[in-house]
Amino acid sequence: MSANLQTKAITAEDIRARKGQDPIVSLTAYTTPMAGLMDDTCDFVLVGDSVGMVLHGLPSTLGVTMEMMVLHGQAVARGLKRALMVIDMPFGSYEEGPAQAFGNAARLMRETGAGAVKLEGGVEMAETIRFLVKRGIPVMAHIGLTPQSINTLGGYKVQGRDEQAETVIADAHAVAEAGAFAVVLEKVPQVLADQITAEIAIPTIGIGASAGCDGQVLVLDDMLGMFAAFKPKFVKRYADLGPMAEAAIKEYATEVRSRSFPAAEHVFADAAPGAKKD
């Protein structure tokens, strides 16, 4: 049997069925090489609108466009055979209503090959989620801190403390009942995340929430330490690649300026007259 036939691609329904089972593993990816490194390990790979900040230097996710998501979605898809690819719907591509959301979600899936889309919002997005799911588009919801709403939330603050808890609980139930196959809980208190995980029938994916969630997701560049000055409380750095890359760049620059690079082993010698050249 060929390797391709042996590899079963993970679907949104497979993720839904993992509720209460082994924890679901996810990271963001924006490029083909990184997606390839994740494919054997991650259950789903998120093409996050965080790409705007991570790769394009935008101050927030609000400036991310459909074209950017399509471009990076296509790149990630080339690196995946097994993991489910979930792609973010960017700000302004779904909030107007179900019809707008369907058109843009269909485009993302058609042009990238994504197996599901993710959108932000709870109670107010339940109708849209239901509309998409009924028309064959798997939806991952995202509640708690929703980065596309930072201007109304007042910044990147913990959501769900004190009287806000009931609002987040209502959001979780609304998206689950609307048909979302999973829901991201971002930056909510641990006790609240555990309560929601116990109460709803779909998997919860934590980011700054609780180890008790059904799964976890992190922004790849954060956990690899690519940005030394940026380290949210909820991020564990599994590597420190930013300083390593900076040191390597400086070493390269030093060798270029001293003319020690390229050395003899990095250049092509002149061929003898009449000899075959490289």
Which residues belong to the annotated binding site for Mg(2+)? 49, 88, 120
What pLDDT score was predicted for residue 274? 64
What pLDDT score was predicted for residue 2? 41
What pLDDT score was predicted for residue 45? 98
What pLDDT score was predicted for residue 3? 43
Q: What is the pLDDT of residues 48-104, one digit of tens each?
A: 999 999 999 999 999 999 999 999 999 999 999 999 999 999 999 999 999 999 999
- Mean pLDDT, rounded, of the chain: 93
Confidence of residue 276 (pLDDT cuts 50, 70, 90): low
What pLDDT score was predicted for residue 275? 61
- Closest to 50 in 3D by CA, of 190, 146, 116: 146
Q: What is the pLDDT of residues 237-254, one digit of tens each?
A: 999 999 999 999 999 999
CATH number for the domain running over 3-239: 3.20.20.60
Confidence of residue 273 (pLDDT cuts 50, 70, 90): low
CB 69 within 8 A of CB 111: no
Confidence of residue 4 (pLDDT cuts 50, 70, 90): very low
Which residues belong to the annotated binding site? 49-50, 88, 118, 120
Question: Has residue 154 got a pLDDT over 50?
Answer: yes
What number of other Cβ atoms are within 10 A of residue 88's Cβ? 29
Backbone dihedral angles phi then psi of residue 241, each to the nearest 5 degrees: -75, -25
**What number is the average pLDDT over the span 31-56?**
97
Q: Would you name the residues annotated as active-site residues?
A: 186
What pLDDT score was predicted for residue 1? 36
Confidence of residue 195 (pLDDT cuts 50, 70, 90): very high
Question: Has residue 31 got a pLDDT over 50?
Answer: yes
DSSP H helices in the chain: 3-6, 12-16, 32-38, 51-54, 66-77, 98-112, 126-134, 150-153, 165-178, 190-199, 220-223, 241-257
What's the CA gap between 155 and 264, in Å, rounded? 54
**What number is the average pLDDT over the span 135-146?**
97
